[in-house]
């Protein structure tokens, strides 16, 4: 044929290459092709799934060398224009290969070519079935009766759930013949649900009502709301009511929560309050479950999508609102591979979709607070606890003035006794699992070190082992020093040791330890929390796991055993994280009518951060911290990116980064400064040496201009072949 050249498609493939791949389209389906469709394409000797990104007239590849795409998988785009646009933006901004970004947005089965739509049948009672089936069916029709009972039990039953419960397809079909049940698709079921209503719940107080009203007024337009409410102030109630309005409009709501926040309690609360179909997206799902949830979000059958950070890429037929709960939480940032911030992408997605986004937190990130200062009227404050609960009283315990027996100072012990005597519960927070952080020889000064990391090994009593918390290496505990044979001693406190000490001092108060080691088995955390609820546990010892999401109404004393870990760090975000942790853990106390007491043990009671926090709460701290950031030129008053490199040979990361730095200087962009390269604060980890180069600019424009030129050049550096390197745009951790 002459004249009309074949259509060419640029396809994203799941490969770590920063480019698209061109293919010719066979004439018989050229007319149907459009961006977002999945296609089968040849790749080397294999056949793989690609996603069409662009339709082109010309390719830089000579036509003779272009291969033909094999077939279309989808009749309509798997990823709609809005989502494609977001993914493209994210790949560009975070400088990650587009093919991998696209792959991250597709559940496994769809990446392997599974069909886009699977019509799922649900069974529902007809009015006749609801009122008459059980009276009319003979008693011996056991199976049919069981099916009816199961359907009467729940509002919305999926085929699979019923079958899993032992109901057979056969009995459902028989019931359909008799007119007792009918089958409908998920989508029909969703459309029929009386969605726009929140059931039950307290009536909103003034601050909540104002917040809901303002969010409602912004539906259908882009707005970023910062919902800043102390723990227990009723933020979740605000989300629920805002979501009700979204459902009323026939739209969907996307709710992002931190990993640890996606608890059965939260899900149960949503299910209880809405009739609307809800799907959950998180990393613990099987491929099949994820694909089902993804399909329902995409078709619109799911009206509420709740998920952890990767749910920001969930397809939505009719997006109406995005909620980011605990927006300060570090798990919203992906720390490896495709490094992105789900919170920041939520704002980008909302803007593109012209819908509002709510960022909720008791301890907002300094970024979000700064943004709210600049966008007048975007701050929604819930200054008081709902249900008239009193805020907790904070006090410092000076560890220099009070001898601490095994990590707990005398005034702390006295306070514990007081609260226990009053029939209350006590929570001890320590951000360090294990028995002791150091195994030390008092004779010669030897301590147990990890061979593969620049770190001490942690003593774990329960597993009778020394464990490296950075690389996972395990060693048996020596009782004698390997250099002088003297007896070695565990030094310092971990949660296991606190558990032991407290158990000895308060033998009659049942105690539970909550950390990653003690809560390994599925369901264990829920079971322990239920015991706490029933007041069977009186003392809780735990890590970070305790600081989020859970309600402990009968806990009236919270002790932060060691605040000093975050006070002196090379990471400019460490103090922000410390303040957030203290305020979050303090928020667990006295949620009901009992006012709480919070004791913070420290050797630096005059530290300005602690003083600010104590006198003026998180707001005062944040104001002070923002001033410091501005003076030092750190984010949010600048933009940064971190180029990291690691290798088994000590010199190689620095050599690569020096070469990278030279290239950056050659292609200098005005306004971008380079700092380093320098070894990472923990130089060696898991046997690999690590170093980093920091890029900084006042705004992200120049930084992005430099990155776009620089990254492709890095791939061609000979030094790059000897290291593993990665770029982290807006890093949340500085190592
Ligand atoms: P947050 O999400 O800010 O931690 P929640 O929405 O979970 O707060 O509310 C904390 C507790 O207070 C819950 O038990 C909730 O039912 C209750 N609550 C919320 N709003 C009100 C209100 N207006 N009146 C009474 N109780 C409320
Ligand atoms: Zn020794
Ligand atoms: Zn190690």
Looking at all shown ligands, the one closest to residue 272's CA atom is 1
- pLDDT at residue number 334: 94
Q: What's the confidence (pLDDT) of residue 157?
A: 52
According to the model, what pLDDT value does residue 523 have? 78
Closest to 239 measured CA to CA, from 328, 342, 359: 359
| Of 411, 389, 386, residue with least CA distance to 398 | 411
Beta strands at 597-602 and 393-398: parallel, antiparallel or unpaired: parallel
237 lines ligand 1 (CB under 6 A): yes
Non-local CB neighbours of 38 within 8 Å, separated by 6+ positions: 49, 50, 51, 52, 72, 73, 74, 78, 110, 113, 116
* pLDDT at 593 (0 to 100): 66
* HSE-up (13 A, CA, CB side) for residue 649: 9
Q: Alpha-carbon distance 684 to 663, whole Å?
A: 26
Which tokens go with 65?
A: 């060398």
Whose alpha carbon is nearest atom 8 of ligand 1? 234
| Residue to substitute in 203, 211, 232, 359 for testing ligand 1 pocket (most ligand atoms within 8 angstroms of CB) | 232
208 CB less than 6 Å from ligand 1? Answer: yes
Q: Is residue 24 within 8 Å of residue 68, measured between CB atoms?
A: yes
Residue whose Cα lies nearest atom 15 of ligand 1: it is 234
CA of 283 to the centre of ligand 1 (A): 28
Map residue 398 onto helix, strand or coil: strand
DSSP 480: B
Neighbouring C-beta atoms of residue 531, cutoff 10 Å: 13
Asked whether the bond before 362 is cis by omega within 30 degrees of 0, the reply is no
User: What is the crossing angle of helices 264-273 and 235-248, to 10°?
Assistant: 40
d(CA 681, CA 692): 10
> Is any atom of ligand 1 closer than 6 Å to the C-beta of 198?
no
Ligand nearest to the CA of 444: 2
Q: Is the CB of 383 under 6 A from ligand 1?
A: no
Tokens linked to 447: 């301590």
Position 506 scores a pLDDT of: 95
Distance 478 CA to ligand 2 centre (A): 11
Give residue 541's pLDDT: 95
User: What is the helix (H) or strand (E) element at residue 122, kind and residue range?
Assistant: strand 121-125
What is the model's pTM? 0.88
Binding site membership of 202 for ligand 1 (Cβ less than 6 Å): yes
CA of 232 to the centre of ligand 1 (A): 6
387 lines ligand 1 (CB under 6 A): yes
Whether 386 is in the pocket of ligand 1, judged by its Cβ within 6 Å, is yes
- Predicted confidence at residue 459, as pLDDT, reads 92
- Residue length, the chain? 735
pLDDT in tens, 599-614: 999 999 998 888 999 8
Omega before residue 636 within 30° of 0, cis:
yes
Q: Could you list which residues have their CB under 5 Å from ion ligand 2?
A: 441, 443-444, 446, 481, 483-484, 486
pLDDT of residue 2: 38
Residue 733 Cα, ligand 3 centroid: separation in angstroms? 19
Substitution site in 200, 204, 237 for ligand 1 pocket (most atoms within 8 Å of beta carbon): 237
Q: CA 279, 282, 287 angle in degrees (round to 5)?
A: 85
Ligand 1 atom showing the smallest separation from residue 203 Cα: 23
Which ligand approaches the C-alpha of residue 449 most closely?
Answer: 3
Residue nearest to atom 10 of ligand 1 (CA): 232
Largest CA distance in the chain: 93
Other beta carbons within 10 angstroms of residue 411's beta carbon come to: 15
- Dump pLDDT digits (tens) for 88-118: 999 999 999 999 999 999 999 999 999 888 7
Q: Which atom of ligand 1 is nearest to the CA of 382?
A: 3
CB 622 within 8 A of CB 369: yes
Nearest Cα residue to atom 5 of ligand 1: 234
Order of strands across the sheet with 393-398? 393-398, 597-602, 555-560, 425-429, 539-542, 511-514
Q: Which residues of the chain have pLDDT under 70?
A: 1-6, 119-120, 154-162, 164, 185-196, 260-262, 387-389, 462-463, 548-549, 591-593
Q: Are 399 and 601 in contact (CB under 8 A)?
A: yes
Separation of CA 548 and ligand 3 centre (Å): 28
pLDDT in tens, 611-654: 999 888 899 999 999 999 999 999 999 999 999 999 999 999 99
Asked if the peptide bond before residue 677 counts as cis, ω within 30 degrees of 0, the response is yes
Per-residue pLDDT at 120: 65
């Amino acid at each position: 044929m002459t004249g009309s050249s074949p259509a060419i498609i640029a396809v994203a493939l799941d490969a770590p290459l920063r480019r698209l791949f061109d293919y010719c389209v066979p004439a018989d389906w050229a007319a149907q092709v459009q961006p977002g469709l999945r296609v089968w394409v040849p790749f080397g000797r294999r056949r793989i799934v690609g996603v069409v990104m662009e339709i082109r007239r010309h390719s830089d590849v000579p036509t003779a060398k272009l291969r033909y795409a094999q077939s279309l998988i989808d009749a309509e785009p798997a990823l709609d224009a809005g989502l494609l646009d977001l993914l493209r933006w994210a790949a560009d901004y975070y400088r990650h290969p587009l093919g991998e970004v696209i792959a991250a947005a597709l559940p496994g089965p769809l990446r392997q070519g599974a069909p886009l739509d699977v019509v799922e049948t649900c069974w529902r009672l007809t009015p006749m079935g609801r009122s008459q089936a059980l009276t009319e069916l003979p008693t011996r029709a056991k199976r049919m009766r069981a099916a009816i009972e199961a359907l009467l039990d729940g509002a919305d039953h999926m085929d699979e759930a019923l079958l899993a419960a032992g109901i057979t397809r056969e009995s459902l079909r028989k019931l359909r013949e008799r007119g007792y049940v009918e089958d409908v698709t998920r989508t029909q079921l969703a459309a029929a649900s009386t969605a726009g209503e929140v059931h039950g719940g307290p009536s909103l107080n003034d601050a909540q009502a104002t917040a809901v009203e303002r969010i409602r007024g912004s539906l259908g337009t882009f707005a970023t709301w910062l919902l800043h409410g102390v723990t227990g102030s009723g933020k979740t109630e605000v989300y629920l009511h805002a979501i009700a309005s979204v459902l009323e409009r026939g739209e969907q709501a996307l709710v992002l929560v931190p990993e640890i926040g996606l608890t059965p309690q939260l899900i149960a609360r949503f299910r209880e309050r809405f009739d609307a179909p809800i799907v959950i997206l998180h990393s613990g799902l099987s491929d099949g479950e994820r694909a089902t949830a993804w399909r329902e979000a995409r078709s619109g059958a799911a009206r509420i999508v709740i998920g952890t950070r990767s749910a920001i890429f969930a397809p939505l037929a009719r997006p109406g609102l995005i909620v980011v709960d605990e927006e300060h939480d570090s798990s919203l940032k992906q720390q490896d591979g495709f490094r992105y911030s789900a919170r920041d992408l939520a704002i980008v997605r909302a803007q593109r979709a012209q819908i509002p986004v709510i960022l909720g937190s008791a301890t907002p990130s300094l970024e979000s607070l700064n943004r709210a200062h600049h966008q007048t009227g975007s701050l929604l404050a819930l200054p008081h606890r709902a249900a008239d609960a009193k805020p907790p009283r904070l006090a410092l315990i000076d560890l220099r003035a009070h001898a601490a027996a095994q990590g707990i100072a005398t005034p702390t012990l006295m306070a514990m006794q007081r609260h226990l005597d009053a029939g209350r519960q006590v929570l001890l927070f320590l951000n360090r699992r294990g028995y002791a952080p150091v195994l030390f020889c008092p004779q010669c000064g030897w301590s147990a070190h990890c061979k593969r990391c620049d770190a001490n090994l942690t003593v774990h009593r329960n597993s009778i082992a020394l464990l490296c918390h950075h690389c996972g290496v395990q060693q048996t505990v020596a009782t004698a020093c390997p250099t002088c044979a003297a007896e070695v001693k565990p030094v310092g406190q971990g949660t296991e040791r606190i558990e032991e000490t407290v158990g000895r001092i308060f033998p009659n108060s049942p105690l539970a330890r909550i950390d990653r080691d003690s809560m390994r088995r599925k369901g264990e955390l829920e079971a322990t929390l239920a015991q706490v609820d029933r007041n069977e546990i009186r003392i809780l010892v735990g890590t970070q796991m305790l600081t989020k999401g859970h309600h402990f109404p009968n806990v009236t004393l919270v002790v932060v055993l060691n605040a000093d870990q975050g006070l002196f760090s090379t990471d400019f975000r460490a103090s922000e994280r410390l303040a957030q942790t203290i305020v979050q853990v303090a928020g667990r106390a006295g949620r009901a009518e009992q006012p709480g007491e919070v004791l913070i043990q420290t050797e630096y009671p005059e530290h300005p951060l602690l003083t600010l926090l104590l006198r003026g709460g998180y707001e005062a701290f944040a104001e002070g911290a923002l001033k410091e950031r501005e003076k030092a030129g750190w984010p949010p008053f600048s933009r940064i990116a971190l180029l990291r490199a690691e290798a088994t040979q000590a010199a190689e990361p620095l050599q690569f980064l020096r070469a990278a730095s030279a290239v950056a200087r050659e292609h200098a962009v005005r306004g971008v400064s380079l700092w380093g390269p320098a070894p990472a604060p923990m130089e060696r980890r898991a046997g690999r040496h690590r170093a980093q180069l920091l890029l900084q600019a006042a705004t992200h424009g120049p930084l992005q201009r430099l990155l776009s030129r620089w990254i492709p050049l890095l791939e061609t550096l000979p030094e790059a072949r000897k290291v593993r390197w990665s770029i982290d745009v807006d890093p949340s951790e500085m190592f």
